[in-house]
Structure 1
Amino acid sequence: MPTLWTLHGDGKTIRPETVVSPDERLSWPRTIGIGAQHVVAMFGATFLVPLLTHFPPSTTLLFSGIGTMLFLLITRNRLPSYLGSSFAFIAPITAAAAGHGMAGALFGIVAVGILLAIVGAVVMLTGTGWIDALMPPVVAGAIVALIGFNLAPTAVSNFSSSPLVALITLAAIILCTVAFRGMLGRMSIFVGVVVGYVAAVLLGAVDFSPVAKAAWIGLPAFTLPKNPFADGSLWALLPVFLPVVLVLIAENVGHIRAVTQMTGKDVNVLTGRALLADGISTTIAGFFGGSGTTTYGENIGVMAATKVYSTAAYWVAGIVALLLGLSPKVGAVLNTIPSGVLGGATLALYGLIGVVGIKIWIDNKVDFSKPKNQFAAAVALVIGVGNLTWVIGDAKTGISLSGIVLGTVAAIVTYHLMNALGRWRGAD
């Protein structure tokens, strides 16, 4: 049975040096406000993936909300996280849909979810020792950092689409953070997005016509995956999708390491449950026409900015996402948020993710005078920032490995190879 939350102090104020732990909460109005920030933070990226893959956005949003609540239940309400659309699925979905349609691509998503759930179950049985050995602090920090920095081009692209609106949003976030104390300062991201949105409306950059056409209440479109036992050609899609599992493992482990680092609470023991939960969420989403899920870096940025790690806020975000998925009208309103506003917010959020990775190095006193640490971090970060892509096989149907997965593999292989060679020749 999940534990509930204790009230942090009086529920209204937070001392500058303190954090709101996962098992604590603020007053419900303040918790709802923090939850709203998480909704805003995840919204743009969660909608972007289905828009790029031509999946129904409302369906994806609905199952991201359901997946978030399942995640909180399976991790016993101890690990704050939002499960949004994973960018790692974009390339394989595009390749699969070209030859097998959306239903064929959904088979690949389901396969990834099942395998990830199996990995989670194995971790729960065997413990996290092998993951800790596989990903020491220098590797974990590199993975967290490259996840944030790999997203930088998306933030820059959104920012460039409307520089003035984006700059107003970013300035409002920064000014709110430094000018106000208490909850208003901690809700700077939400305030900044509201200010940016109002500016966009005044500048005539918001089109409300889709809102007028949308219904208030309605189910999103559902699509079932193709049956691989009826269509044997679907099995050929597995090599295209299975590398995504490595990305999801890296993102989940990176998220858990970041939460541990930011809260001071060791939640690494929940790694198996987190992987299992993400696997189940991805599987369910794939069965009904939603995109695969992952722990969201955007929400790490919100927690880093607010110092509020309460899982209660994520329940709010999950419930809101579910309701938005059932309300085309409300979803249409939120979908009018211009990319420039999202660009201003994500420019700060993605950078904060990268800084969290660097903080892991600092807090664990990673010795960068050692070549194995230097090269593991250096190679991984350049691959992640440059979004190096390696296509194995045909350009359209082959396996495409890009920034996050290649950077993760590079960090792991480089560190352990140099570590083994160093021990072989008697050096550290």
Structure 2
Amino acid sequence: MQDTHGEEQVLTVGIEEKLSVGANMTYGLQHLLALTGIFLFPVLIGQALKLDSSVIGYMIQACFLTTGLVTVLQSGRMLKLPVVQGPTAAFFVAVLSAGASVGLGTAFGSMAVAGVIFMLLAIPIRRFGLIGYVNKFISPPIVYGTLLIIIGAQLASIGLKNWFGSADIGINFIASLVTVLCVLVCMVVGGGTILRRGALLWGILVGTVFYSIFGTTDFSAVSSASWFSLPSLFPFGFGVSIPIVILMLLAFLQASAEAVGMYTLLTKWGKQKLSNDRVNRGLFGEFLGCTLGAIFGGLGTTSYPENIGIVRVSGIGSRYVTMTAGILAIVLGLIPKVGMFIASLPGPVLSAASTILFGIIAISGVQMVSKVVWDELNLVVAGASFIISLGTMYLPAELTAKLPLAIQSVVTQPMLVGVVLLIGLNTIVNMWLRPSLERRAQREPLLPEVTTTEVL
């Protein structure tokens, strides 16, 4: 999605306009096709943690449920904007890291605790909501854009190396190439159609068909899965770890910055006001949904940039369309066959699609920071945060092993180090130091001009 902070767009279908049931279903399904994180993130976590396909399938169901619940809340009574939620890279990284160190039960239990904390900070009752008032600290393009670049660079180590799989390397690599080429072709020639918006999904489908013909796929688990089941409470067990809670709090902070950026765009396009109270309502709904999702075992979500792009291109900004998308996501989350089918897709094909997705995340950050005026102060903020954050990936293992778990969980994650550094440095340099320097420059007397005659 291109950065459109400086653009103004008049929606052809306004935020409060209602369409027919058929139109709502059609446009709502179009939004769901862009939610690639639902298809990719749970599978990548399962591959990394060596989870059984039934566990991965359930996690996919839980992600659909989380997505649907928050989308209905946001499009309905809470935010009242055409926002579609989806699993975000911040929670993907946090759950992947926590799951590897303390298990999924403690990862999701700690996410639920962190969600409750953020719900209390955003409680939409008069002046009690605090998150809306700290928006200026977390939403500037230099903070959010640089963070997306850091996340994309961190995730680069996940996709490409899994193209080859553990066996039958030749067909795995060729299927990965077919997937990537299909995605790229759809993105380049798809224009403003559903071909481009669902490019990653079409690439996965084509890659899977290719792999089924020339390789070996096994969808037998799909036939044995049931057609309907309700979610379980804490299906992976329950545990709470203070270091992991801190990890999840930082992920919620990143998601907050992303969400407020999307709210700003949508209210501008719909010619509506974005007050602190409305921000608090939106974030409270988001945190409530993410907390429920964590209880069910699903990844936390945030406002999906791809869906904002669909609104921008199509001009259809009706919140009843996105509410329909949320209802469809809830229905899919109640069908185990859907989750098991996605969990059975070839690993190399999903890894190839994730490579493109992670690249899009990074370049979206580049687009955002292109609007920043790169003077010395901004270079200090972004440059120091970027290089130090990525440098944490190369800290010696013997050093990090000696650190307390609370510190170890943060300093080994570039995304989390980036959140702390970017918010801290931007606050100090741009909000405190810059105004002081500008006032000092205004007070300094100008030196008298020296003419050529005076010199001679």
- What is the TM-score of this pair, normalised by structure 1? 0.75
Matched, 1:254 2:258: yes
Q: CA deviation at 1:274?
A: 3.3
Q: CA deviation at 1:117?
A: 0.7
Q: 1:226 to 1:218 in 2, by over 3 A?
A: closer
Q: Which residue of 2 aligns with 1:120?
A: 122
C-alpha distance after superposition, 1:113-151 (max 9, x if no partner) = 110111222787457453214543322322333334433
Q: 1:186 to 1:256 in 2, by over 3 A?
A: farther
Aligned CA RMSD, in angstroms, stands at 3.9
1:137 to 136, 141, 145: 141
1:245 to 249, 269, 281: 249
The answer to whether the 8 A contact 1:147-1:251 is kept is no
Q: CA deviation at 1:249?
A: 1.7
Q: Which residue of 2 aligns with 1:11?
A: none
Q: Which residue of 2 aligns with 1:31?
A: 27
Q: Which residue of 1 aligns with 2:173?
A: 163
Q: 1:424 to 1:178 in 2, by over 3 A?
A: closer
Aligned-partner Cα distance in 1 for 2:12–2:345: 29
- What is the TM-score of this pair, normalised by structure 2? 0.71
Matched, 1:332 2:340: yes
The answer to whether the 8 A contact 1:147-1:404 is kept is yes
Aligned-partner Cα distance in 1 for 2:214–2:320: 36
The answer to whether the 8 A contact 1:166-1:340 is kept is yes
Q: 1:204 to 1:248 in 2, by over 3 A?
A: same
AA matched with 1:295: T
Between 26-35 and 340-349, report the one with greater CA deviation.
26-35
Aligned-partner Cα distance in 1 for 2:182–2:386: 30
Paired residue secondary structure (2:330): helix
Q: Which residue of 1 aligns with 2:209?
A: 198
Aligned-partner Cα distance in 1 for 2:96–2:24: 37
Q: 1:142 to 1:50 in 2, by over 3 A?
A: same
Aligned-partner Cα distance in 2 for 1:41–1:386: 26
Aligned-partner Cα distance in 1 for 2:162–2:320: 30
Q: CA deviation at 1:397?
A: 6.9
Unaligned runs of 5+ in 2: 1-8, 166-171, 443-456
Q: CA deviation at 1:374?
A: 0.9
Q: Which residue of 2 aligns with 1:209?
A: 220
AA matched with 2:176: A
Between 192-201 and 64-73, report the one with greater CA deviation.
64-73
Q: CA deviation at 1:50?
A: 6.3
Q: Which residue of 2 aligns with 1:379?
A: 384
Identity %: 20
Q: 1:157 to 1:58 in 2, by over 3 A?
A: same
Aligned-partner Cα distance in 2 for 1:49–1:312: 33
Q: 1:292 to 1:350 in 2, by over 3 A?
A: closer
AA matched with 1:406: V
Alignment of 1:287-298 (within 5 A): 287=295, 289-295=296-302
Q: 1:37 to 1:105 in 2, by over 3 A?
A: closer
2:373 to 364, 367, 387: 367
Q: CA deviation at 1:107?
A: 3.8
The answer to whether the 8 A contact 1:156-1:347 is kept is yes
C-alpha distance after superposition, 1:192-243 (max 9, x if no partner) = 332222222222242212123222233344337989xxxxxx77x2243134
Aligned-partner Cα distance in 2 for 1:105–1:359: 32
The answer to whether the 8 A contact 1:372-1:415 is kept is no
AA matched with 2:30: I
Q: Which residue of 2 aligns with 1:44?
A: 40
